[in-house]
Chain A
Amino acid sequence: MTRARLSPARLSAVDVLRVGAAGLRTRPTRVILSALGIAIGIATMIAVIGISSSSREQLLRQLDRLGTNLLTVAPGRTLFGDKAKLPTFALSVVKRIGPVNTASATGTVDATVRRTDHIPEAVTGGISVQAASTELLTTLEGSVSKGIWLNASTEHAPAVVLGSEAAKRLGLGRTGVRVWMGNQWFTVIGILGPMPLAPEIERSVLLGFPAAATYLAFDGHPTTIYERSGEEAVEAVRAALPRTVNPETPEQVEVSRPSDALAARAAAADAFTNLLLGLGAVALLVGGVGVANTMVISVLERRKEIGLRRSLGATRGQVRIQFLSESLLLSALGGVAGSVLGALATAGYALTRDWPPVVPPWAIGGAIGATLVIGTVAGLYPAMRAARLSPTIALATT
């Protein structure tokens, strides 16, 4: 006589989760502690990625605001290694390049600045004195925070405008005061706001080209030319600049793009980020070992429960999936908590720095993926052990 074939019923996904969660509910302390390990790892990684993304976003927005179409031209070195000079006509020829919208120049003046004539010359506080053309503020898209900028009449006068950093170092917070340069007093008529693309201007005391020549024996050679063109023409202008500025020895001209320095800063931060990410990964690994440990103990403690389930008709596979789902839930719990913590840390840090908080979706996706992998790997061995237990274990009276 033939009997109906026996085949075990499938557990629904909901039942698998219920059974897995039931195992966790009865041991809350242990669950929290081992999920904490995963949470710390995930939180570290999310925070590291989030903070560096926020910082990059901040730099990108800054670049966006400042523009990437500013180029600077500076003298390089001669064949003999001496500092070369830009010709005096350099600014006027740069202005004549088609796509150039605005150009201006500064020239380093061999002079020092002091608040009074009593302070010895050596104490100059790293402030340089520069002649500046009146268009400089326009080219750099800068602004004055106090007073006025140089104009057609003040560029001839013994008047100076201080870069923001120079004003700070000199301890000057207002206009109308005087500073001592060369052998003469100059009146401060303005103080500039921040110049993120030209930090050297922030550290300078600026006066007109004519005034520099008149009062400080300036030779009229510019040392930096700033120019802006249409964004699309930047590369072409960059290629044309050396020959335009110095047709005879174009190799003695250096052209650079200040926005590149900001972009490089973003890239440099990445190296550090990778180091911290490595630390996060180690924390995560330790967390995974914690979960595996918890699961192994759990299997040992619950041999009777496993035997009972086998007697109720659970297959080996169903026992295995029960412990796997428990392990997955455990690490998912840590993953979710860690993601939330990491995102909060990112938001908190970014807000104190006035950055836009950014947690990239791929980081969250990666965190979920990592916890799933960890949960599976950590649960695999304990689950196999549980599945291999003999069903008779439930009957053992000890």
Chain B
Amino acid sequence: MSIVELQGVTKVYGGRVEALRGLDLTVEYGELLAIVGPSGSGKSTMLQLIGTLDRPTSGTVRIAGYDVAELSDRELSALRARHLGFVFQQFHLATGVSALDNVADGLLYTGTALRERRERAEAALQRVGLGHRLGHKPNQMSGGEQQRVAVARAVVGDPPLLLADEPTGNLDSHSGAEVLRVLNDLHAAGTTVAVITHDTEIAEWCPRQVRVRDGQIIAGDGRRPPAEIAKGARP
């Protein structure tokens, strides 16, 4: 089973704007891939659908084996809480709240007790190299550090899939490299990581690149050869 399966996915905004025009994409567990394309090509829309933040106009979205169309809003919330982590271009950290508590909030909706949330938040911050910044507030940290806090928050619950939308878009190249290194470490530890970017340099840094243009995938959709599909991966 693949962690992400898109089949014939379209997304039309307001009945007119065709953001996605029939996508097929398969991502296997443990991959590190870049979704790359020019601005307005539909990358963020793709991430919203893969992240179950939105539903497709038509087609099938299957995440960790769940068909999104069959899930209620509550079930989608639970899916996001346990299976997905998000990193956004903006860090979305709570001001005036320590790095530790910002990260601990990543577990708020998983039913974990506060003590354990904090313990795991500390571990997650250590993973992103911020073990010495636990008590710092966002305004006491650099942009790169803040984004790493956001990454720690996304992975504190050990989700199998991490989605990052332009994670280095607001960072200088040095800080951006730091964040990418953290993402690479996570990938090495087994997390599936999808990085959305318009920057081909970053895309080339990933083992797999999915190229998007005008709402269509023009290369790297990861469709398996027909023989493999014929064998029947699912019942």
- Which residues of A approach B to under 8 Å, CB–CB? 1, 3, 5-12, 14-15, 18-19, 22, 25-26, 304-305, 307-318, 390-392, 394-395, 397
CA distance A310 to B78 in the complex (A): 10
Q: Which of B53, B75, B80, B153 contacts A7 (CB 8 A)?
A: B75
Contacts of A390 in B (CB 8 A): 53-54
The 9 A-B residue pairs whose C-beta atoms are closest, nearest first, are A313-B81, A9-B111, A313-B109, A6-B78, A391-B53, A315-B77, A6-B75, A8-B78, A308-B92
CB pair A311–B78 under 8 Å, yes or no, is: no
CB pair A8–B54 under 8 Å, yes or no, is: no
Q: Which of B54, B78, B94 contacts A391 (CB 8 A)?
A: B54
CB pair A8–B88 under 8 Å, yes or no, is: no
CA distance A395 to B86 in the complex (A): 10
> B16 on the interface (CB 8 Å rule)?
no
CA distance A394 to B86 in the complex (A): 10
CB pair B80–A311 under 8 Å, yes or no, is: yes
Assuming A309-B108, A314-B109, A318-B77, what are 11 further A-B pairs, CB within 8 angstroms? A7-B75, A7-B78, A8-B74, A8-B77, A9-B109, A11-B108, A310-B53, A312-B86, A314-B77, A315-B74, A394-B53
> B144 on the interface (CB 8 Å rule)?
no
CB pair B44–A395 under 8 Å, yes or no, is: yes
CB distance from A156 to the nearest CB of B (A): 90
Contacts of B71 in A (CB 8 A): 6
Q: Can you name 26 A-B pairs with beta carbons within 8 Å? A: A1-B1, A1-B235, A3-B66, A6-B76, A8-B74, A8-B75, A9-B78, A9-B109, A11-B109, A18-B114, A22-B94, A308-B92, A311-B53, A311-B80, A311-B84, A312-B80, A312-B106, A312-B108, A313-B82, A318-B77, A318-B109, A390-B53, A392-B53, A394-B86, A395-B48, A397-B90
CB distance from A8 to the nearest CB of B (A): 4
Interface size class of B (residues with CB under 8 A): 35 or more
Given A1-B65, A395-B165, residue A315 in contact with residue B73 (CB < 8 A): yes
Contacts of A307 in B (CB 8 A): 53
Q: Which of B51, B65, B80, B94 contacts A3 (CB 8 A)?
A: B65
CB distance from B133 to the nearest CB of A (A): 20
> B79 on the interface (CB 8 Å rule)?
yes
Q: Which of B77, B88, B95 contacts A310 (CB 8 A)?
A: B77
CB distance from B173 to the nearest CB of A (A): 20
Who on chain B is nearest to A10 by CB? B111
Who on chain A is nearest to B66 by CB? A3
Contacts of A11 in B (CB 8 A): 108-109
Contacts of B53 in A (CB 8 A): 307, 310-311, 390-392, 394-395
> B31 on the interface (CB 8 Å rule)?
no
CB pair A6–B79 under 8 Å, yes or no, is: yes
CB pair A305–B48 under 8 Å, yes or no, is: no
CB pair A19–B108 under 8 Å, yes or no, is: yes
CB pair A8–B109 under 8 Å, yes or no, is: yes
> B194 on the interface (CB 8 Å rule)?
no
> B105 on the interface (CB 8 Å rule)?
yes
CA distance A316 to B105 in the complex (A): 17
> B47 on the interface (CB 8 Å rule)?
yes
CB pair B51–A9 under 8 Å, yes or no, is: no
- Which residues of B approach A to under 8 Å, CB–CB? 1, 44, 47-48, 51, 53-54, 64-66, 71, 73-82, 84, 86, 88-90, 92, 94-97, 105-106, 108-114, 153, 165, 234-235
Contacts of A5 in B (CB 8 A): 75
Contacts of A26 in B (CB 8 A): 94-96
Contacts of A9 in B (CB 8 A): 78, 81, 109-112
CB pair B79–A304 under 8 Å, yes or no, is: no
Given A315-B74, A395-B47, residue A1 in contact with residue B234 (CB < 8 A): yes
CA distance A391 to B51 in the complex (A): 10
Who on chain A is nearest to B110 by CB? A9
Contacts of A6 in B (CB 8 A): 66, 71, 75-76, 78-79, 82
CA distance A94 to B208 in the complex (A): 115
CB pair A312–B96 under 8 Å, yes or no, is: no
Q: Which of A22, A304, A313 contacts B78 (CB 8 A)?
A: A313
Contacts of B165 in A (CB 8 A): 395
CA distance A26 to B235 in the complex (A): 52
CB distance from B167 to the nearest CB of A (A): 12
CA distance A46 to B24 in the complex (A): 67
CB pair A8–B48 under 8 Å, yes or no, is: no
CA distance A136 to B78 in the complex (A): 87
CB distance from A308 to the nearest CB of B (A): 5
CA distance A395 to B110 in the complex (A): 22
CB pair B90–A392 under 8 Å, yes or no, is: no
CB pair B105–A312 under 8 Å, yes or no, is: yes
Q: Which of A307, A311, A390 has the most CB of B within 10 A?
A: A311
CB pair A8–B44 under 8 Å, yes or no, is: no
CA distance A7 to B75 in the complex (A): 6
CB distance from B171 to the nearest CB of A (A): 14
CA distance A25 to B48 in the complex (A): 31
CB pair B74–A7 under 8 Å, yes or no, is: yes
Q: Which of A22, A313, A316, A392 contacts B80 (CB 8 A)?
A: A313
CA distance A93 to B168 in the complex (A): 108
Contacts of B84 in A (CB 8 A): 311
Contacts of A314 in B (CB 8 A): 77, 108-109
Who on chain B is nearest to A25 by CB? B96
CA distance A313 to B81 in the complex (A): 4
CB distance from A172 to the nearest CB of B (A): 73
CA distance A15 to B44 in the complex (A): 32
